[in-house]
Structure 1
Amino acid sequence: MAKHATFSVIFVPRAKKNTEQKREKLYARITVDGLRVEMSLARDLSTGLFNTKAQRCLGTNSESRQINDFLSIVNSDLNEIRKKLMLEGKEITAELIKARYKGLPDPDDIPDPTVLELYDEHNRKFKELIGTKNHSPSTYQRHLTSRGHVAAFIQHQYGKNDLTWEKVDFSFLSDFEHYFKAVRKCNHNSTMKYIKNFGKVIRTALGEGYLIRNPFEKFKLSYETVDREILTQKEVDQMIALDIKLNRLDKVRDLFVFCIHTGVSFCDVIKLRMNHIYEDQDGTKWIKNKRLKTGVEFMVPVLPEVQKIIDKYADHPERQMEGSVIPEISNQNYNGYLKEVAMRCEIDKNLSSHIARHTFATTIAMNNGAPLEVVSKMLGHRDTKTTQIYAKIQEKAIKSGMRNLL
């Protein structure tokens, strides 16, 4: 032992929760050099029987005698463990004494988890919380993808299947950034998002003591301003008017037009059911649900173009069997077919579900006088700060249109 450690043990009773019985549970509080831990002694007693100041049960009844004898044994065992640790030359800590008493391995003998082991543990716990606040299936999938990127980078950079946390430093993050841009050919913002995802596990490693220094102290996340594309009203009208003979393209066009006039994201539209549509006292129909991504509620009126699409699929088998508003399609097929729809409409823009959402916020909502706060509610944003990006898009579109006019 490097130094003589101060040591004390006191016993503390605590009221049992969720019970009508007037009973208390006993805990031992072990303190070494001012650092303490508590452990349950798996013993309960009548409320008020134990005197904390005297550190014993007062009275001579059977329960008091049994508890006092038990505590004497516990105190003796803890002191004996301390003596053995001194003979072993171990650095005595409260955690170590508790572990020995409980029959657990010494904390120093338990290896720290590796980078991927801790990420797997994070993902396992996250999966158990899906459906609660900030724990959506899409975010879970994003962490699975991020974990895969970390594993691939470790193999690429170090030629290993895993790493200890001491290897995760500023150089690790710098090389990780270079890997995304040079090897995976990701753009800057996507690279930053992937590194940010890994940051949550890094914070866990810091909190658990597996990492000594935070690599983000020197490595700073930064994002480049991106011009978000939107469709003009003319382009929206072109898409609606397009005569499409192929059923697969017709369905994709309908889904895209639905998103343009509701602002609902692709994954949320696919999960929409007819019971998410209701009519208020004024006869106005509304779509009301919660976003899969964030769990935040959104509410948007059913505009005429949306109603046409709802009516169009009234007899579709998926509507009859599952109440689906629009027949389901995979995200991969959807994005692929959208490019073909854009070509047929002679729209020279890379259409995506994000463009539909941006178009709703600006071309459909703000250009028709909808206030920022209302647009924020319809999009299911937590606050208007997120929605303000669309005000900037609208301003840019206005300036561009005025330049053309001039």
Structure 2
Amino acid sequence: MKTTHTFGIQFIIRTGKKDRDKGLVYARITVETRRIEISLKKTIAVEEWNKARGMAKGFSPESKKFNSYLEHVRSQLTDAYRELQINKEKITPENIKALFLGDSDEHTLIELVDYHNTTQASVLSPGTMKNYRTTKKYLERFLKKKFKASDIYLVQVNYKFITDFEYFLRNYQPLDHQKPIGNNGVMKHQERFRKMINLGFRLGWITQKPFDSYKLSFRKVDRGFLTEKELHAIENKKLKVERLQIVRDVFIFSCYTGLSYIDAINLSPDEINLGIDGQYWIFSKRQKTDTKLRIPLLPKALEIANKCQKHPRSISRDRVFPLISNQKLNSYLKEIADLCAIRKNLTFHLARHTFATTVTLSNGVPIETVSQVLGHKSISTTQIYAKVLEKKISEDMRKLKLTLCKSIDK
């Protein structure tokens, strides 16, 4: 390990946008080509500051006292640098700053994460909050492995920390049955981590935004969906076990409405009413985004709703469907896939994809309409589902042939 470094301390002032006459004093620490700044939480008039020498001008008692304080800070920072040298620890501006601040009121990473999760619990959906708690667990595991600590100061979170965390996520081997984290899973953790770090910047807990130089890199993935043949195979399969019948009903209902698991399982009979066309519609909200849902019920979906809301377990909870967890539902869907000889990874979210592709877009429903029904805030989100299916291509080309033939005949 390198024992000697180019080390420097400089005092600077920064003026605010509204008050240009006074400046906040910072200590700038430089090690090699890297640097970091510490707010000393002291202000001084710009005209009283010697920019070249990094100190107060003049020899008044106030100036002498101010400069004495700066020299004390310089001495403490130098002591922190030497302590890292003696202990043969890594010498970085962040580590010097952390050692200098010691047990002060400097904020920590896990403190920020907990603050975010507490303040956002009533704003974000339970499913989204669950994802943030999972990101926190991975951060804690990373801290334990990389730093042998349960927490670090926010000033230690820099670009290298971010890239090291990415490397940790990509190489993390789960101890249970779970699969390793894929690229997009890693990026989602980093996306959530970035949001929390940016919150720390807005709170004034950190003075830099380490994610500014980091680029999220999601890979495009094909969204799975059921073909018309596969959809009908599940609809028409004779199932003897009641739990599979219930799961199949909820799943097929979503295939014809586009509802997510949480919105389907929480759907109330009161949210199904007659629309302006005299037909039954769903009038609800997406739990994830609080977006209004206005969904005309197709015959198959209405048939399932009328049947399932009469189930004793549905009546007891005043919902259209009996309660069943998403985890169990997905597990039972795999049984149904086996019984129907469907080799695709059947999950509940596949129903939403099937509605967007096989049921609507491939049957000529405009993407703007599909976007509204799905409750998307942006049509660009809907375009992910806009697959050009072979059936639709065939029909469009058939119409083109007829048009061309008519043109030739003329």
Same fold (TM over 0.5): yes
Point out where structure 2 has 5 or more consecutive residues left out of the alignment.
1-9, 25-60, 71-100, 174-179, 397-410
Is the Cα contact below 8 Å between 1:249 and 1:337 reproduced in 2?
Answer: yes
Equivalent residue for 1:294? 289
Once the two structures are TM-superposed, the CA of residue 149 in structure 1 deviates from its matched residue by 1.6
Indicate how the Cα distance of structure 1 residues 167 and 87 shifts in structure 2: closer, same or farther if over 3 A, else same.
Answer: closer
Is the Cα contact below 8 Å between 2:337 and 2:343 reproduced in 1?
Answer: yes
Report SS of the residue matched to 2:282: strand
Aligned equivalent of 1:34, options 10, 13, 22:
22
Indicate how the Cα distance of structure 1 residues 281 and 214 shifts in structure 2: closer, same or farther if over 3 A, else same.
Answer: closer
Indicate how the Cα distance of structure 1 residues 31 and 317 shifts in structure 2: closer, same or farther if over 3 A, else same.
Answer: same
1:123 aligns with 2:117: yes
Question: For residues 368-387 of structure 1, what are the structure 2 equivalents within 5 Å?
Answer: 368-387=363-382
Is the Cα contact below 8 Å between 1:319 and 1:327 reproduced in 2?
Answer: yes
Letter paired with 1:238: A
Question: 2: distance between equivalents of 1:169 and 1:314?
Answer: 54
- The one-character-per-residue Cα deviations of 1:262-292 (angstroms, maximum 9, x if unpaired) are 0000011111100110012432100121111
Report SS of the residue matched to 1:286: strand
Equivalent residue for 1:189? 184
Question: For residues 264-303 of structure 1, what are the structure 2 equivalents within 5 Å?
Answer: 264-303=259-298
Is the Cα contact below 8 Å between 2:309 and 2:321 reproduced in 1?
Answer: no
Equivalent residue for 1:315? 310
Once the two structures are TM-superposed, the CA of residue 170 in structure 1 deviates from its matched residue by 1.8
Taking structure 1 as the reference length, what is the TM-score of the superposition?
A: 0.70
Equivalent residue for 1:232? 227
- The one-character-per-residue Cα deviations of 1:207-263 (angstroms, maximum 9, x if unpaired) are 344444432233210111101111111111100000000111111111110110100
Letter paired with 2:218: Y
Once the two structures are TM-superposed, the CA of residue 332 in structure 1 deviates from its matched residue by 0.9
Is the Cα contact below 8 Å between 2:201 and 2:207 reproduced in 1?
Answer: yes
Deviates more, 1:318-327 or 1:227-236: 318-327
Question: For residues 115-194 of structure 1, what are the structure 2 equivalents within 5 Å?
Answer: 115-127=109-121, 129-130=122-123, 135-184=124-173, 185-194=180-189
- The one-character-per-residue Cα deviations of 1:296-353 (angstroms, maximum 9, x if unpaired) are 1121111111122112224322332332111110111011111110010111100112
Letter paired with 2:112: L
Indicate how the Cα distance of structure 1 residues 253 and 166 shifts in structure 2: closer, same or farther if over 3 A, else same.
Answer: same
Is the Cα contact below 8 Å between 1:136 and 1:295 reproduced in 2?
Answer: no
1:249 aligns with 2:271: no
1:339 aligns with 2:327: no
Question: 1: distance between equivalents of 2:321 and 2:64?
Answer: 69
Once the two structures are TM-superposed, the CA of residue 188 in structure 1 deviates from its matched residue by 0.2
Question: 2: distance between equivalents of 1:85 and 1:136?
Answer: 56
Is the Cα contact below 8 Å between 2:308 and 2:321 reproduced in 1?
Answer: yes
Indicate how the Cα distance of structure 1 residues 369 and 90 shifts in structure 2: closer, same or farther if over 3 A, else same.
Answer: same
Taking structure 2 as the reference length, what is the TM-score of the superposition?
A: 0.69
RMSD: 3.0
Q: Quick one: percent identity of the two aligned structures? A: 35
Letter paired with 1:148: K
Question: 2: distance between equivalents of 1:238 and 1:285?
Answer: 26
Is the Cα contact below 8 Å between 1:252 and 1:337 reproduced in 2?
Answer: yes
Is the Cα contact below 8 Å between 1:138 and 1:292 reproduced in 2?
Answer: no
- The one-character-per-residue Cα deviations of 1:163-192 (angstroms, maximum 9, x if unpaired) are 112321222121211211211420001100
Is the Cα contact below 8 Å between 2:362 and 2:389 reproduced in 1?
Answer: no
Equivalent residue for 1:204? 199
Letter paired with 1:114: T
Aligned residues: 310
Indicate how the Cα distance of structure 1 residues 215 and 331 shifts in structure 2: closer, same or farther if over 3 A, else same.
Answer: same
Indicate how the Cα distance of structure 1 residues 394 and 327 shifts in structure 2: closer, same or farther if over 3 A, else same.
Answer: farther
Once the two structures are TM-superposed, the CA of residue 109 in structure 1 deviates from its matched residue by 8.4
Is the Cα contact below 8 Å between 1:263 and 1:357 reproduced in 2?
Answer: yes
Question: 1: distance between equivalents of 2:112 and 2:394?
Answer: 50
